[in-house]
């Protein structure tokens, strides 16, 4: 029987070492700074698009640390349960290749691509000699951890954006970007020239599931030891045809399926040598298929963050803590009346604001706002503007708010908006993949 309690205690003793031991302290907090810098970039994108920051970088960094601890505990346990050893995994080569791929495109900073390249090169050239099943097992378990974090916390930093799709239409959506510093415990094989120390945990006969190179685990002079390390996991996605919550469910589900298939191939490859070719090729190309599948859905599906002509001004998002949020407005509302003036589109809303203010923003304090909420699409507050029906609700702006404070409504786009992101592949890897798809018709 697997010693769940003993392994759990051993992992819990090791995790704090990844945060505070001198050898790991600098690495972990450097990872935290990198994550903070990434959230600063997200905040700058929000400021450039809408003039306000919706996701505060400091708050996001604290959340990322706490969420990363959850992911680290889960990932550590799965790594130990499967028995993935990094002793001959060639992780140094993978890191170098990952950094080179970052020059081509930031989204390629993923061990699926770098690990696949290193493994394929090793199989063809014979160098470097690495444990391909072990490396692919590590990639699979990191993605299992990532899928869990996406499912639980993927919507934690949703940024409203205007996106230009391949067809040329401008739509509203949410850019989902999350980054996590992960303290994780890995296994290393250690050769002992003296008798093994007492207090070792006895593992079942079937363990490890991924056998190390050369069957060294059968040698009594080799034992496994736990070592805490630090990794960074990241998630980037765009929700246009579904809500952020629905998008993260789809992405995490597809990523989990990919990870489990890769893990099963890795386990089999550690026993059947020819399968290492399948593992090496499936890692990068399977991951790219998952990415392409998600991108195609968002490119070709029906957008939900749009307002039908003449139906009002749709609210894409509301800045937390803003006067609009305090008034009770929320994402998916459609403003149909402002201070007694009918609102059929965004221009009507802006004109009504200008007339109501009359040069004095204080006149907007306490103004009546009528919105349509709900509707035939059944998405409600979390899912974009309604196409008809729904229930009318009247709110009032706060009686006062700070001078210079923006009201906090982020409206759905129209064709006059110039600030947007492009939903089309631009990196070299994407162009290569498109050529392969056209050539081999898959």
Query: For the stretch 29-57, what's the b/e string if a residue is b when 16 or more beta carbons lie within 10 angstroms of its beta carbon?
Result: eebbeebbebbeebbebbeebbeebbbeb
Tokens of 258: 């990919």
Q: C-alpha angle 169/174/180, rounded to 5°?
A: 140
pLDDT in tens, 22-42: 878 888 998 899 899 989 988
pLDDT tens-digit readout, 86-134: 888 888 899 899 888 877 776 787 899 999 999 999 999 999 999 999 9
What is the pLDDT confidence band of residue 251, given thresholds at 50, 70 and 90? very high
The C-alpha torsion from 431 through 432 and 433 to 435, rounded to 10°, is: 90
Please check the confidence at residue 386 and state whether its pLDDT lies above 50. no
Q: Which domains does the chain have, with CATH numbers?
A: 7-195+206-300 (no CATH), 313-411 (2.30.42.10)
Q: CB–CB of 356/338 below 8 Å?
A: yes
**Which pLDDT belongs to residue 425?**
45
**Helices vs strands, H then E, count in the chain:** 11, 10
31 within 8 A of 232, measured Cβ to Cβ? yes
Sequence-separated (6 or more) residues with CB below 8 Å from residue 67 = 149, 152, 153, 156, 180
**CA-CA distances (angstroms) from residue 117 to 48, 95, 136, 286, 429?**
37, 11, 11, 13, 13
Distance CA 70, CA 287 (A): 24
**Average pLDDT over the chain, rounded to an integer:** 86
Whether 392 shows a pLDDT value over 90: the answer reads yes
Cα separation, 289 vs 196, in Å, equals 46
Count of CB atoms within 10 A of residue 296's CB? 11
CB 160 within 8 A of CB 410: yes
Cα separation, 230 vs 183, in Å, equals: 5
Phi first, then psi, for residue 315 (nearest 5°) are -95, 115
């Amino acid at each position: 029987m697997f010693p769940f309690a003993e392994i759990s205690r051993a992992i819990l003793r090791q995790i704090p070492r990844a945060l505070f031991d001198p050898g790991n302290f600098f690495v972990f907090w450097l990872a935290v700074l990198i994550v903070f810098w990434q959230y600063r970039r997200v905040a700058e994108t929000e400021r450039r698009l809408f003039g306000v920051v919706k996701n505060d970088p400091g708050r996001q960094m604290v959340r990322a640390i706490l969420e990363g601890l959850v992911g680290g505990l889960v990932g550590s346990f799965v790594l130990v349960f499967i028995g993935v050893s990094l002793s001959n995994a060639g992780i140094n080569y993978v890191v170098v290749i990952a950094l080179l791929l970052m020059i081509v495109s930031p989204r390629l900073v993923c061990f699926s691509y770098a690990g696949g390249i290193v493994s394929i090169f090793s199989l063809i050239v014979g160098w470097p000699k690495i444990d391909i099943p072990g490396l692919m097992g590590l990639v699979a378990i990191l993605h299992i951890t990532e899928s869990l974090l996406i499912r639980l916390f993927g919507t934690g930093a949703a940024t409203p954006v205007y996106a230009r799709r391949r067809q040329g239409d401008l739509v509203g959506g949410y850019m989902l970007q999350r980054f996590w510093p992960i303290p994780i415990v890995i296994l290393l094989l250690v050769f002992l020239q003296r008798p093994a120390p007492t207090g070792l945990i006895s593992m079942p006969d079937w363990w490890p599931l991924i056998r190390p190179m050369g069957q060294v685990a059968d040698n009594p002079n080799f034992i496994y030891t736990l070592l805490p390390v630090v990794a960074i996991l990241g998630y980037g996605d765009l929700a246009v045809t579904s809500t952020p919550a629905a998008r993260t469910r789809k992405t995490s589900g597809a990523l989990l399926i990919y990870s489990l298939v890769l893990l099963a191939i890795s386990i089999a490859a550690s026993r059947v040598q020819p399968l290492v070719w399948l593992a090496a090729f499936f890692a990068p190309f399977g991951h790219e298929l998952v990415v392409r599948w998600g991108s195609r859905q968002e490119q070709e599906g029906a957008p939900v963050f749009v307002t039908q002509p003449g139906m009002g001004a749709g609210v894409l998002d509301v800045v937390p803590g803003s006067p609009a949020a305090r008034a009770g407005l929320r994402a998916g509302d459609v403003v149909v009346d402002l201070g007694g003036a009918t609102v059929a589109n965004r221009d009507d809303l802006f004109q009504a604001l200008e007339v109501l203010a009359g040069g004095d923003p204080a006149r907007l304090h306490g103004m009546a706002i009528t919105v349509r909420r709900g509707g035939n699409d059944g998405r409600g507050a979390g899912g974009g503007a309604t196409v008809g029906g729904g229930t009318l609700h009247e709110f009032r702006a706060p009686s006062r708010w700070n001078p210079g404070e923006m009201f906090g409504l982020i409206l759905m786009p129209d064709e006059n908006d110039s600030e947007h992101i492009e939903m089309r592949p631009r990196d070299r890897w994407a162009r290569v993949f498109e050529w392969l798809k056209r050539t081999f018709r898959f």
